[in-house]
């Protein structure tokens, strides 16, 4: 069957024909393609077209698709059983590895997705502090958690309105949103809610509204404010964790959060998540403490084996240094292609975004100035040329150790033509 046939069939049985909304191509127009296989830096459609992939399963494929070490670990573990519902040695090894790699994490619990991880962090913050309110930033997406599917109202101190049907307004009212990189707005939020904010949650490098970076001193000031207000600082490192550095963004910026949500890379391509932090906070979890959290497949042996194999390979190959080299080469090519054009390019390590607007882009409002129609034309021209970027202006791109100089050169050639097609 062709991608069109499959999509028409899918829409009869799956809402919107997809199992995650961005896959529907609503941000760029047209219909999605379907993939039959993937290896290295390439994905192959059901029609047999090979594409250079910069989505990488939305982040987990840091070694590239289907790396031998991960496939071998999955097959070897699966042959001994897919799931037990009983403790297994691999989950202990994974927990030890995460605690060793991320110094802020003294204890950790495995879950099945990034959404579960952030949801659990929020519940734990509330249970530990005895407070109800959460402070988050516009443009930081933390999964489809009711408390966090909230956007800002008319002002920085306005309590959020639900960003999705099905989220009670009373629950959204407990979430306060402010612009990223606006420390004065954070101070005002704390002043307006004295002794009421359980946790401040953020992506230290927001990567769900494209990609923009924390300004110098911003994260440090958040840490100081949380200390002063006895509020837990929660880093959502589902994307940045183990991708930007062994210890994630917190290692790069030298900040110690109280809790960290993790996922993606630590699953090697299988569904996984984790959250961890200070031991005294984590000990509030059941069965030792009063905050309940559980999961049938948490610590699944096959997922643990995949993630451990990927992390070991990254460490043995000095992966993060190589990814920086690949990222720098990619950035040089992009900046040459967009020189003199009203476009903005951001990169940190192996993550990147090209905004179709002039800079600076430092928060969600800036990102939303992008010309989405032009991005859509660029996206489809790249796709036609054999290069797959995320089908939304507001998603980050990902490089992997499998991307070669030849891949990057070919991508640059295609991108130059695509920019012309987009009107640039």
Count CB atoms within 10 A of the CB of residue 317.
13
| 303 and 323 inside one domain | no
Q: Which of 141, 355, 388, 424 is catalytic?
A: 141
| 321 and 386 inside one domain | yes
Q: What was the pLDDT predicted at 392?
A: 94
Q: What was the pLDDT predicted at 153?
A: 29
| 306 and 323 inside one domain | no
* Two tokens, residue 327: 């990222």
Is 136 noted as a catalytic residue in this protein? no
| 361 and 253 inside one domain | no
Count CB atoms within 10 A of the CB of residue 9.
12
| 47 and 128 inside one domain | no
The answer to whether the CB of 163 falls within 8 A of the CB of 151 is yes
Give the domain extent around 88. Answer: 68-315
Q: What was the pLDDT predicted at 163?
A: 66
* 210 backbone φψ class: left, alpha, beta (φ>0; ψ -120 to 50): left
Q: Which of 53, 54, 212, 236 is catalytic?
A: 236
Q: What was the pLDDT predicted at 160?
A: 46
| 135 and 156 inside one domain | yes
| 236 and 263 inside one domain | yes
Q: What was the pLDDT predicted at 161?
A: 52
| 416 and 344 inside one domain | yes
Is 264 noted as a catalytic residue in this protein? yes
What gap in Å lies between CA 72 and CA 60, rounded to an integer? 17
Question: What is the CATH classification number for the domain harbouring 323?
Answer: 3.90.1150.10
Distances (CA, A) of 67 to 54, 71, 149: 16, 6, 35
The string of pLDDT tens digits covering residues 256-296 is 999 999 999 999 999 999 999 999 999 999 999 999 999 99
Q: Phi first, then psi: give them for residue 83, nearest 5 degrees.
A: -165, 145
| 382 and 409 inside one domain | yes
Low-confidence ranges of the chain (pLDDT < 50): 152-160
Number of domains in the chain: 2
| 364 and 233 inside one domain | no
* Two tokens, residue 14: 């799956």
| 117 and 249 inside one domain | yes
| 9 and 79 inside one domain | no
Is 388 noted as a catalytic residue in this protein? no
What gap in Å lies between CA 107 and CA 123, rounded to an integer? 16
What gap in Å lies between CA 380 and CA 291, rounded to an integer? 47
* 3-state DSSP helix/strand/coil % of the chain, to nearest 5: 40, 15, 40
What gap in Å lies between CA 90 and CA 177, rounded to an integer? 39
pTM, entire model: 0.96
The string of pLDDT tens digits covering residues 133-189 is 999 999 999 998 887 877 532 233 334 455 678 888 888 889 999 999 999 999 999
What gap in Å lies between CA 116 and CA 293, rounded to an integer? 10
- Residues found in the chain: 424
Q: What was the pLDDT predicted at 151?
A: 58
Q: Which of 54, 136, 253, 264 is catalytic?
A: 264
């Amino acid at each position: 069957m062709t991608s069109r046939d499959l999509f028409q069939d899918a829409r009869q049985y799956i809402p919107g024909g997809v199992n995650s909304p961005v896959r529907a191509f609503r941000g760029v127009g047209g219909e999605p393609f379907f993939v039959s296989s993937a290896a290295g830096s390439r994905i192959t459609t059901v029609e047999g077209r090979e594409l250079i992939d910069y989505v990488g399963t939305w982040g987990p494929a840091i070694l590239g698709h289907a790396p031998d070490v991960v496939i071998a670990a999955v097959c070897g573990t699966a042959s001994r059983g897919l799931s037990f519902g009983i403790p297994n040695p691999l989950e202990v090894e994974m927990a030890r590895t995460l605690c060793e790699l991320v110094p802020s994490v003294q204890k950790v619990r495995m879950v099945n997705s990034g959404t579960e991880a952030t949801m659990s962090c929020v519940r734990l913050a509330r249970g530990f502090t005895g407070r109800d309110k959460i402070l988050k930033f516009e443009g930081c997406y933390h999964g489809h958690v009711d408390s966090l599917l909230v956007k800002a109202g008319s002002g920085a101190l306005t309590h959020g309105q639900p960003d999705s049907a099905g989220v009670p307004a009373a629950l959204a009212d407990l979430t306060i949103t402010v612009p990223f990189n606006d420390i004065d707005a954070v101070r005002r939020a704390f002043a307006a809610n004295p002794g009421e904010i359980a946790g401040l949650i953020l992506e230290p490098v927001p990567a769900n509204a494209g990609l923009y970076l924390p300004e110098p001193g911003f994260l440090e000031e958040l840490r100081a404010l949380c200390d002063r207000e006895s509020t837990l600082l929660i880093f959502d490192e589902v994307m940045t964790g183990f991708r930007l550095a062994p210890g994630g963004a917190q290692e790069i910026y030298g900040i110690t959060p109280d809790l960290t949500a993790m996922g993606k890379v630590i699953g090697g391509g299988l569904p996984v998540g984790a959250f961890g932090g200070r031991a005294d906070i984590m000990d509030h979890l059941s069965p030792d403490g009063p905050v309940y959290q559980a999961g049938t497949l948490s610590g699944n042996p096959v997922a643990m084996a995949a993630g451990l194999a990927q992390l070991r390979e990254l460490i043995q190959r000095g992966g993060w240094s190589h990814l920086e080299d690949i990222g720098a080469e990619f950035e040089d090519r992009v900046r040459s292609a967009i020189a003199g054009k009203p476009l903005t390019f951001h990169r940190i390590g192996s993550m990147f975004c090209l905004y179709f607007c002039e800079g600076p882009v430092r928060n969600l409002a800036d990102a939303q100035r992008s010309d989405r129609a032009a991005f859509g034309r660029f996206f489809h021209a790249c796709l036609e040329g054999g290069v797959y970027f995320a089908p939304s202006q507001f998603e980050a791109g990902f490089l992997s150790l499998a991307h070669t100089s030849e891949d990057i050169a070919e991508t640059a050639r295609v991108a130059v033509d695509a920019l012309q097609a987009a009107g640039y």
